[in-house]
Structure formats: structure tokens, C-alpha cells
Amino acid sequence: MKIIKRNGSEVAFDITKIINAIGKANDVVDEDLRMTNTQIHRIADSVEKACIELGRSPSVEEIQDMVEEQIMAHGAYEVAKRYITYRYTRSLVRQSNTTDDRILALIECNNEEAKQENSNKNPVVNSTQRDYMAGEVSRDITNRLLLPPDIVEAHEQGIIHFHDTDYYAQHMHNCDLVNLEDMLQNGTVITDTLIERPHTFATACNIATQIVAQVASNQYGGQSISLAHLAPFVQVSREKIRAVVRDEISTLGVIPEKEQVDHIVEKRLREEIRRGVQTIQYQVVTLLTTNGQAPFVTVFMYLNEAKSEQEKRDLAIIIEETLLQRYEGVKNEQGIWVTPAFPKLIYVLEEDNVEEGTPYFYLTKLAAKCTAKRMVPDYISEKKMLELKGDVYTCMGCRSFLTPDRFTDAGIGNIANAGNYEPGKHKYYGRFNQGVVTINLPDVALSSGGNLEKFWKIFDERLELCHRALMCRHERLKGTLSDAAPILWQYGALARLQKGEPIDKLLYNGYSTISLGYAGLYECVKYMTGKSHTDPSATPFALEIMQYMNAACKRWKEQHNIDFSLYGTPLESTTYKFAKCLQKRFGIIEGITDKGYITNSYHVHVTEEIDAFTKLKFEAQFQHLSPGGAISYVEVPDMQNNLEAVLQVMRFIYDNIIYAELNTKSDYCQVCGWDGEIEIVEDDGKLIWRCPRCGNTDQDKMNVARRTCGYIGTQFWNQGRTQEIKDRVLHL
């Protein structure tokens, strides 16, 4: 069994340290108040047993809490007093410098929490370590100086989660939709260099990847770009290639047929599109931004975003090439084709591509084939999005959605000074999210003890806590000058403000959003009703909770003129943190706190037997009540030989839910070449990945791809998330 030290490093559990610690406290009290050696050993044994029952690695603080409780249970109050005094004294010493130990552990790669914080970050490389070190300093400053003490305490206790404290000290926002069209059509500036309108499709793709890298280095969340913004440059290249072909032919003194010229032009054009798409795929995968990871970028594929029929046909070619290349994958160190984590792809299911016989159904079949092998694209239903949001637009990364445009209809106009602004047309590209604070719903339920009246009272208190925390995020951005991130605020990614101009006007009137996240609806409802929220008798209570949070967001929006929006938080490392905090506060409660994770947002619990169509239909009603962002998924086996089933799920998505994905497996063992599913097994109380063929357990010698929170991640997850992946049941 392992334990996690305060600096985040992981060491073997040593019962003698507990015995020695109790012994030291025991030795300094009067002899008649001391415990016997038998009692001390009994306490140590009880603590060891409790740690094993947790099913995960406990922290030093958790172990010390258990020791205190056991000493008190034995009636040795004076010994307990000495033990508590010693802990407090050591805590004061540590508080004099809260970062040194953790930073040193990062540098020496001993910090297990950091290693497992983000499955797409390699904590060994210098750039990641530098980012983590800066993050530790930011957390320290944030907790000691920038946030109110009660918000810090609530965050540390897992009552709420104040996201991205490692970036809060700087004036940075969360995620956005990059206005790539404006930057390509009207030019931009990258590191003081003017980038003019590209003259070929390939150049446009290259500039797009540079923009993606710059944007990623100036924010901390996901970003999205649209292939529709690249589509006009296909015609630019077509005309340029046609002129070259005509010149080549004229030198031969030949008068060619138009069909011959068209054939040559389209052939060369297709090759340029292939190279351009390859640039995007390989650049995104290989780029390392200043935070030590590939950009969290989503590529949007929506045919009806094209502005003409010709542009739509050109966009279809780009989408086809993107799907073909993603289906192929990328080569790992051994030259084997594997599934890359980025970019994330989103394909819109539309009236003219969703059914056999429609003009672009061939793209949908290719998308299904790609999904079955590489887990992307994910799917947005044009039909449901128009019905429920009024517009069709992509999410800002893995799931966070903007609210529908209201500032245009209010006559506020082009407050971002975008070069591609069209009066009266709703605007989405160039908009962003200010940040997220998540409420731990199971904690609300458990704190109420199951009393419904008390539940709503505590819920109100926690929501107000989140409200104040979100306003801290807003106030931190308020007053930020455009100079802080020129690529975002001055050169078109989000706006074209003047140098030295504050970004404040972009924080109001719905131009940007701010998100109330939530987690663990299943556990919350299960504790309060004794049933899963899928049970018809419990579903109304679950929906009432959702409506209650939406009502709070509406009140705050009216109060501040800021678009607060309810967001189904994509817990990655936080799922483990919340679970540990619940166990610490309330103990192990079967079906509620007995896992190393809590359920993401409104999702059906991963262990619950339910078919794909029922799951999507059930979750659709909750997704509608998460306007700030949500995604549903179905867990499926290898579907490469059953594409018709994939297409059936896609058609169901089109008719029933805004945004969904299919989770399959895509693994590779670098030791023996196994390309089936790499399994999760327990080893000395810890879950690890193991190749079923050769037994390889070296995480650096395997490629595991799983979708955990919208994005695809790799095998470096924390123990809670790993357990959640292990527990998943198939829905198809």
C-alpha cells in the first residue's frame, strides 16, 4: 500500500511511523495517563486497516486524522492533545513556506499528484515542470493573498472546486472560439510579425496552427477553430494552380480541353489540401505550448457554415481529408500508427448528410469509420441545437458552450472591433469563457443528512459561495489590459482592441460567459432518495436540482449583466479529489462514497447497466439543462466491423440530443505489439495498466487512449479516474 506525502510524492505505507508518532506523544504525558504498547499497536493496526479499506492511496493528513480519532476513541485525551499540538506546530512551520517542498518534488519527478493531474502532460519534461512550478507559486499566492479565506477553505475541503488556481494569479481566461476567419482574411500579428492574408490553402493551414499555439499559450482552457474558415482558401489555391497549369501547357504549344485542365487542377488541389490538413494534424500533435502540452484544440466540421455552394463543396473536401488522415492516425516512436489525443474533431449531423441518399452521406459513413477506430469525431445534432439553442456553433474545447448571442439583438454592436463583423448576424467566434467554479452536489446531500428541508438550505448557501467565487474570477479579469495577450485582445483571436485598452466591455452583455459547474448528480440523488436518478421516481428530484441551479444562474445574470451558465464539469483530477474529501468528511457510505471517484455532471453511473439509446435519451433532458456545456457518451466495444450500428447511434443522436460521442478503445503495447485493449489491474493496492499479452506495466512503453472528460487522454490518470475507467460497462 502506498501513501501520498504532503509534497505529492508517493511512498510505501510504514506502520512503524504511526507507532513512533503515537509513542512520542505518549512519552511526554504523565505516566498514569499513558497508553500501553498494546493499545498503541492496536491503534496502528486499526489505522492500517482503514487505509486499506479506502481502496486508494491515503494522504498523510488523512492518516493523521485517523490516528487522532483512534487515540480519542481509547480515551487517551491527554495523548491526543499532545499529538494534535505537535501537528499544529509542524503545520505553522510548513505555512512559513508553502511551496518549496512541492516544487522540489516536481523537479525530481516525485510528485505523484502532479504526474496524474493532467493525462496529456508529461511531468518529466522541463517545459511542463516549469509550468507546474509557476502553478505552485500561483496557488500559494492565490490561497494566501487573492481569494477570501472561506472560499479557499471550501475549495480545500472539496465543498466547491475553484478551477485552475495555478493560473489565477495571472489575468487569464478559460476557453474560447477563435475568430480564425478574421485573422486569416484580415491579417494578424504573431510575435511582432505581421501575417497577411494567405495566398494558398496550405499557407492558411500553417498560419492556423501558429495561431492555435499562440492562443494556447495565453489562456488555460480549450479552444476551437472551424474548418469553414479555411474553406475560402481552397478556391484561392484552385485559381493559383489553374494559372500555373495554363502557363505550363502554353509552353508546350498545346490547346488543352477544359476537362483536362480541370482534372489536373483538381488533382493538384487535392494534394495541397492533403498537405494542409496534414500540417494541422501533425503541428497540433507535436507543438508544445508554454504550459508544456499540446494545445487543447477542437476542430469543427459544419457543412452549413459555408457561405456558398462552391465553398460547401470545398469544405466537404477538407472534412473528407481530415477524417481520412485521422483514421490513419499518427506514428509513435516505433513507427506504429496510433490514436492521437489532439485535435479533437466535432462533426455536425445535418439534414443533407445524416441519411443514405443525401448529398454528403459519404462523409458521415467516413466519420463513423473514423469514430470506430480513433474515437473521433464527436457529434453535434444540427436539428436539436437549432431547436434548443436557436443557432449551431461549436463548443469552446471539450464541452463548454457559449450562451446564444444576445448582445447583437440588443443592438450593442461590434464591441470587439472584429474585422469580419456583420451587423445583425449572431456572433460566436471571438467569444470566450471567464472561468469555472464547481459545486460538489454529493457534499450538499451528505451535509443535509438526508433531510430535504436542510438540503435546500445548504444548497442555497453553497450556491451563494459559488456565486462569490465566480465573481472573484470576474473581478480578476476586470481591468485586464489588451497588452496582456496581444494575440487574443489586439490581433483578432478574440478582439481587435487598442493597445492599453481594458477588456472590460467584453465581460458583460453576454459577450463572454462564466460557468457554474456541478458534479455528482447521481450520488446526490442516490443519497437523498435511495435510488439512481434513472429511476422514474427519482428523476423529478434530479431535474429539480438542475432547474434550481439554472434559476440561480438567471438571478446572477440579471444582477450583474454577466452570462452565468450551468456547466456539466468534465472532472479529470477533481473527480478523485472530491471523492477523497467526501470520504474524509463522511466516511465510507456504500453506493455514495465507496469509490475513488464521483460521477461527472449528470451522467448515468458508469457501473449502471443501460443500453446506448436509453442512456442518450435519458441524458438529453439533463443536457438541455446544462446550457453552459455538457456532453454525453456511450461506451462501446470494437465497432470497426459493425459500422451500421455506429451509424444507428449517430442517427439517434441527430434526432434526440445536442452533443454526444462514442467511447471505444485504441491501445498499443510498445513491448510486444499488442493492439487490443490494455487492461487495468491491481498491484500492491494500486491500479496499473498491463498488457494482457506480455505483462508490460511500464506506462512509458505503451499507448493507451481513453476519453475521460471530453478530450481523449493517455494512461497517466490518477487512481480515481483509473478506477472509473475500469468500472465502465458497455452500452452497446
Q: Which of 112, 136, 382, 572 is catalytic?
A: 572
Count other C-beta atoms under 10 Å from residue 159's C-beta.
Answer: 23
Give CA–CA dist 560/316, Å, rounded. 43
What is residue 508's DSSP assignment?
Answer: S
- Cα distances from 71 to residues 27, 88, 500, 594, in angstroms, run 14, 16, 61, 25
Residue positions counted in the chain: 732
Report the distance separating Cα 215 and Cα 296, nearest Å: 10
- List, in sequence order, every residue forming a beta bridge with 10; answer none if it has no partner: 4
Number of neighbouring beta carbons within 10 Å of residue 543: 17
Task: Answer whether 104's CB lies under 8 Å from 133's CB.
Answer: no
Respond yes or no: is residue 433 known to be catalytic. yes
Q: List CB contacts of 319: < 8 A, sequence separation 6 or more.
A: 227, 301, 303, 347, 363
Among residues 175, 205, 395, 549, the one annotated as catalytic is: 175
Catalytic annotation, pick one of 138, 433, 600, 703: 433
All three cell numbers of 460 = 442555497
d(CA 415, CA 435): 21
Other CB atoms within 10 Å distance of the CB of residue 491: 24
362 is catalytic: no
What letter represents residue 458's amino acid? I
Distance CA 347, CA 319 (A): 9
Of 398, 650, 691, 702, catalytic? 398
CA distances (Å), 175 to each of 287, 371, 387, 515, 631, in order?
18, 25, 25, 11, 16
φ, ψ dihedrals at 99, nearest 5°: -115, -25
Q: Which of 710, 713, 720, 724 is catalytic?
A: 710
Could you give the CA distance from residue 172 to residue 269 in angstroms, rounded to a whole number? 40
Helix (H) or strand (E) holding 499: none
Collect all residues with Cβ–Cβ distance below 8 Å to 667 and sequence separation of at least 6: 674, 675, 676, 677, 678, 702, 703, 704, 705
The one catalytic residue among 119, 174, 353, 656: 174
Task: With beta carbons less than 8 A apart as the criterion, state whether 31 and 14 touch.
Answer: no
Set of cell numbers at residue 658: 445536442
Q: For residue 377, is the peptide bond before it cis, meaning its omega torsion is within 30 degrees of 0?
A: yes
Query: Of 396, 472, 549, 709, which residue is the catalytic one?
Result: 396
Contact partners, residue 454, CB within 8 Å, separation at least 6: 447, 448
Active-site residue flag, 174: yes
Is 400 one of the catalytic residues?
Answer: yes
- Angle, helices 452-477 vs 149-156, to 10°: value is 120
Does 353 qualify as catalytic in the annotation?
no
Angle at CA of residue 562, ends 165 and 399, nearest 5°:
60
- Residue 24 vs residues 21, 84, 277, 388: alpha-carbon distances, Å: 5, 12, 66, 65
Residues facing 436 on adjacent strands: 515
Q: Using N-to-C axis directions, what is the helix angle for 452-477 and 441-448, rounded to 10°? A: 140
- How would you label 596-622 residue by residue, b for 16+ Cβ within 10 Å and e otherwise? bbbbbbbbbbbeeebebbebbebbbeb
Compute the distance between CA of residue 484 and CA of residue 474 in angstroms, rounded to an integer.
Answer: 16
Which of 400, 515, 550, 696 is catalytic? The answer is 400
Contact 33, 82 (CB under 8 A): no
Nine-digit cell string for 688: 496499473
Catalytic (active site) residue 135:
no
Active site residues per annotation: 174-175, 396, 398, 400, 433, 567, 572, 710
